Amino acid sequence: MGSRPIRLSITSIETDFLLSEVTNRPLPIDQENVAGQASESAIDHHLSDSISPDQIRPLPCVNFEATNSRRGRRIKGKTRISTKSPEKKLSKCRSNQNVKRTLGFGRKLDTSVRNEWKNIVSSDLEFSRQDDVNDFIDPDNFPLLIKTLERDDFVLVEFEMEPNNKKAFYVGKVLLYENIEYEINFLRCRNKMFGKFAFPDVEDISRVSETSIKVLLPTSRKLGCAKRRQSYMSFGGDFNLLNIL
């Protein structure tokens, strides 16, 4: 007969057979063969008109206005090689006129502007002549001070620097004379080669004795027209031999 299980209710639990219920289904009887049928859309749909690349992206068009403009237009006769001929003379005259036009020749200047230019040129020439006349300032042979110093005069002051007693020179402006001493507002040397001096941002005022003043400098001259350059002054002397600060 076969063996029976010890537990008679072992097969009565339906949950043990739930997994087999997934495949325990009857096959569909009225199932159509999908792979055997052809798609109606693939048969009936047919492209009557073909699409060309020109319809998607047309050919580029030439902008005649840009090519005929002054900037993009090729100058006629630019590549020709002209020898001694009337054409060469005409092209040369045309190029000279263009150069004159760019440099500004032929324009009439205002009378005030022309006079201002003449004054600037004449003052520069006078100052250059004065530079040619002035010799080097020799630190071992200073000229004697004949003129008495006055207020707003510019002078060259000598100092002895410790510990080597090296001589240093400053340019200053006389402010006051009292008890054989001068109150000087000192400048700073900005360019020794060209003799440019300027007042510092913080005033440097001190008293010096008469013996420290070596040279009475000529009247100062402001350089340039800009505000920054007008602060520079020159005295027409050559300070290259001096240890000027």
β-pairing verdict for 154-161 and 166-178: antiparallel
Say whether pLDDT at 162 is over 70.
yes
Sign of CA dihedral 42, 48, 54, 55: negative
Say whether pLDDT at 112 is over 80.
no
Sheet holding 196-198, edge to edge: 188-191, 196-198, 233-234, 221-222
| Average pLDDT of the residues in 83-90 | 74
Encoded amino acid at 170, one letter: Y
pLDDT tens digit string along 181-231? Answer: 899 999 988 877 777 888 888 889 999 988 888 888 888 887 766 666 667
Report how far residue 207's alpha carbon sits from residue 177's, in angstroms, rounded to the nearest whole number. 9
Distances (CA, A) of 129 to 143, 215, 217, 222: 21, 21, 17, 17
Mean pLDDT across the chain: 70
Encoded amino acid at 116, one letter: E
Say whether pLDDT at 156 is over 60.
yes
Question: Tell me, what's the pLDDT at 53?
Answer: 74
Question: Tell me, what's the pLDDT at 69?
Answer: 53
Report how far residue 68's alpha carbon sits from residue 91's, in angstroms, rounded to the nearest whole number. 22
Report how far residue 219's alpha carbon sits from residue 36's, in angstroms, rounded to the nearest whole number. 116
Say whether pLDDT at 78 is over 90.
no
Question: Tell me, what's the pLDDT at 221?
Answer: 80
- Look at residues 127, 114, 116, 112 and name the one whose alpha carbon lies nearest to residue 223: 127
| Average pLDDT of the residues in 15-28 | 65
Does 77 or 88 have the greater pLDDT score?
Answer: 88
| Average pLDDT of the residues in 39-64 | 64
Question: How would residue 5 be classed by pLDDT, with cut points 50, 70 and 90?
Answer: low
Does 44 or 73 have the greater pLDDT score?
Answer: 73
Strand partners, 157: 170, 213
Say whether pLDDT at 132 is over 50.
no
Question: How would residue 174 be classed by pLDDT, with cut points 50, 70 and 90?
Answer: very high
Question: Tell me, what's the pLDDT at 180?
Answer: 83
pLDDT tens digit string along 29-45? Answer: 655 555 555 555 554 55
Lowest mean pLDDT: which of 90-99, 120-129, 233-242? 120-129
Say whether pLDDT at 150 is over 70.
yes
Instruction: Return the SS3 of 117.
Output: helix
Say whether pLDDT at 10 is over 50.
yes
Distances (CA, A) of 2 to 5, 11: 10, 16
Q: Give the tokens for residue 177.
A: 């004379």
Q: Give the tokens for residue 211.
A: 């013996």
